[in-house]
Amino acid sequence: MPQTFTPAAPPATEPAARATALTKVYGTGETRVTALDSVTVEFARARFTAVMGPSGSGKSTLMHCMAGLDPVTSGSTRIGGAELAELKDRQLTRLRREKVGFVFQGFNLLPALTALENMTLPLRLAGRRPDAAWLDTVVATVGLGGRLAHRPAQLSGGQQQRVAVARALLSRPEIVFADEPTGNLDSRSGAEVLGFLRDSVRELDRTVVMVTHDPVAAAHADRVVFLADGRLVDELHAPTADAVLDRMLAFESHGR
Ligand X SMILES: Nc1ncnc2c1ncn2[C@@H]1O[C@H](COP(=O)(O)OP(=O)(O)OP(=O)(O)O)[C@@H](O)[C@H]1O
Q: Is position 53 an interface residue for ligand X (rule: CB under 6 A)?
A: yes
* Binding segment toward ligand X, per CB under 6 A, in 58-66, 98-106, 163-171, 237-245: 58-66
181 binds ligand X, rule: CB under 6 A: no
Give the range of 48-56, 95-103, 106-114, 148-156 binding ligand X by CB under 6 A.
48-56
**Residue 59 interacting with ligand X (CB under 6 A):** yes
Starting at the earlier edge strand, list the strands of the sheet with 74-79: 33-43, 17-26, 74-79, 82-83
Note whether 189 binds ligand X by CB under 6 A: no
55 contacts ligand X (rule: CB under 6 A) = yes
**Does residue 247 interact with ligand X by CB under 6 A?**
no
Q: What is the DSSP string of 31-76?
A: G-EEEEEEEEEEE-TT-EEEEE-STTSSHHHHHHHHTTSS--SEEE
Residue 33 sits in the site that holds ligand X (CB under 6 A): yes
**Between 23 and 60, CB nearer to ligand X:** 60
Shortest CB 115 distance to ligand X, Å: 28
- Alpha helices by DSSP H, the chain: 59-66, 89-99, 115-125, 132-142, 157-170, 187-202, 215-218, 241-255
Sign of CA pseudo-dihedral 69, 71, 74, 76: positive
CB of residue 28 to ligand X, shortest distance in Å: 11
Q: Say how far apart CA 37 and CA 74 lie, in whole Å.
A: 10
Task: Tell me the one-letter amino acid at 112.
Answer: A
Residues 60-119 that bind ligand X (CB under 6 A): 60-61
- Residues of this chain that interact with ligand X (CB under 6 A) are 26-27, 33, 35, 53, 55-61
